[in-house]
């Protein structure tokens, strides 16, 4: 039986017809419920897919917007660089603007003239003898305009020949040869030439081929690639002892030490450059990994200084009470959180505001405007509020934010070493 629900309800005249209508409606209701259940199930599935897609889109947007301001990425890796607005210069004659460049009345800063004793050559340039009016021009040696021009000397290698003279023993006939003076190696490269090669290929990051061209074009000193490699090896060997001494100094240092690591390719293999630096000494080592083993190779097993690092877990082998998390890295973490939606974003914004206040206080303390005691007192509410917000972040509903906040709170002692530094340095000693 089919029903037309646009018409009025049927009026059965007999019980049999009424039962027939009831049975039809029952079947219709059962069929409707089955379809409703199917549609509900499909809707639930669509909602799950929608939630997953929204989450995926949010993750992709976050990855797309990841840059050097909200992560540890280098500025050179930023895909989209924010262009600074060009300064507008108003045309001449306008009272509210000025032309580009030095303004009228600006005192220029030029290169200072060298004193006479540092001048290699002096050339006197006399004025012409006759003026345009026909009169005679008389030179005034007391009024001189000095123009100093700097030139590089023509470079030519200094070649020293050591003649090792042979001698014959009158008694036994043994042949002897004169030895080279102390400090003179058997290499044709003298110490300064050897060091220059190491500086060019090391500090200036030139290739061996480019170094060869510099020696040939500028120093007038033809040299083979093999000799350049040998010079590098000589310098590396000579530096082994002082580098080891510097490592020991870092490992035994009781004060603040900054450490970091960065990846690079070496002959196609992934390698890591590790750095540990104090105010006076910096040590670099190259390691095959970014592991805890590499951190210990740099800082030693019994490092007792105040270690400032990012939150990379390889440094977790050192006591949190003697560590300081880098707040520049933490600020970027909070910037990333602030860019998320919902409560997570609000938490990130609030923490960033406290971080800005903290930095202002720290710079005032460093500049001598406020004492350490005043700084510590002013930091108490900031410190408490940041920790409360981090705790709130662990249940904000955004998994990434929850994990980040939980990991930071796990080692929260490492957040405030720079505030309570005097106390911790006593522990370190």
**pLDDT for 6:** 77
Q: How far separated are the first and last CA of the chain, in Å rounded?
A: 95
Q: How far apart are CA 132 and CA 134, in angstroms?
A: 5
Give the CA distances from residue 21 to residues 3, 11, 113, in Å, rounded to whole numbers and listed in that order.
9, 10, 115
Angle at 393 between CA 392 and CA 398, to 5 degrees: 135
User: Please, where are the H alpha helices in 65-178?
Assistant: none
Question: Which residue's entry shows tokens 């990333």?
Answer: 336
**pLDDT for 96:** 53
pLDDT mean by block of 10 residues, the chain; 429 residues: 74 83 80 83 86 81 78 69 57 55 71 92 93 92 93 93 95 94 92 96 94 96 96 94 94 93 87 94 93 94 91 89 91 94 94 96 94 95 96 94 94 91 44
pTM over 0.75: no
Q: How far apart are CA 325 and CA 378, in angstroms?
A: 20
Report which of 162, 153, 150, 161 is spatially closest to residue 220, judged by C-alpha positions: 153
Q: How far apart are CA 163 and CA 321, in angstroms?
A: 64
Instruction: Give the domains, in start order, of the chain with CATH numbers.
Output: 151-239 (no CATH), 253-318 (3.30.720), 325-428 (no CATH)
**pLDDT for 4:** 72
Pair of tokens at residue 165: 């003279």
**pLDDT for 1:** 64
**pLDDT for 428:** 37
């Amino acid at each position: 039986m089919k029903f037309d629900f646009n018409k009025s309800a049927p009026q059965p005249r007999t019980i049999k017809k009424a039962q027939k209508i009831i049975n039809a409606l029952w079947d219709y209701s059962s069929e409707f419920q089955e379809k409703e259940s199917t549609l509900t199930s499909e809707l639930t599935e669509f909602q799950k897919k929608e939630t997953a897609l929204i989450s995926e889109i949010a993750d992709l947007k976050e990855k797309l917007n990841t840059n050097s301001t909200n992560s540890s990425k280098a500025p050179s890796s930023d895909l989209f660089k924010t262009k600074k607005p060009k300064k507008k210069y108003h045309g001449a004659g306008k009272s509210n603007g000025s032309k580009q460049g030095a303004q009228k009345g600006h005192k220029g800063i030029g290169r200072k003239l060298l004193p006479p004793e540092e001048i290699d050559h002096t050339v006197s340039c006399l004025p012409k003898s006759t003026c345009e009016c026909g009169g005679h021009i008389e030179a005034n040696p007391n009024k001189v305009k000095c123009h100093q021009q700097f030139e590089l000397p023509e470079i030519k290698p200094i070649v020293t020949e050591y003649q090792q003279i042979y001698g014959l023993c009158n008694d036994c006939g043994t042949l002897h040869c004169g030895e080279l003076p102390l400090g003179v190696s058997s290499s044709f490269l003298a110490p300064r030439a050897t060091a220059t090669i190491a500086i060019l290929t090391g500090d200036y990051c030139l290739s061996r081929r480019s170094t060869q061209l510099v020696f040939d074009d500028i120093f007038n000193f033809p040299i083979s690639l093999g000799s350049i490699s040998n010079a590098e090896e000589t310098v590396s060997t000579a530096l082994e002892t002082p580098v080891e001494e510097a490592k020991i100094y870092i490992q035994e240092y009781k004060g603040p030490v900054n450490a970091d690591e960065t990846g690079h390719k070496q002959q196609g293999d992934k390698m890591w450059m590790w750095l540990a630096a104090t105010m006076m000494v910096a040590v670099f080592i190259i390691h095959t990994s970014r592991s805890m083993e590499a951190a210990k190779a740099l800082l030693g097993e019994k490092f007792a200084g105040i270690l400032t690092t990012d939150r990379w877990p390889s440094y977790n082998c050192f006591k949190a009470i003697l560590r300081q998390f880098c707040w520049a890295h933490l600020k970027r973490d909070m910037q990333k959180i602030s860019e998320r939606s919902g409560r997570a974003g609000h938490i990130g914004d609030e923490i960033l505001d406290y971080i800005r206040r903290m930095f202002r206080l720290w710079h005032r303390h460093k500049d001598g405007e406020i004492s350490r005691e005043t700084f510590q007192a002013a930091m108490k509410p900031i410190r408490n509020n940041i920790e409360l917000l981090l705790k709130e972040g662990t249940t904000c509903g955004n998994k990434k934010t929850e994990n980040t906040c939980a990991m930071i709170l796990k080692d929260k002692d490492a957040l405030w070493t720079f505030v309570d530094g005097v106390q911790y340095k006593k522990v370190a000693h």
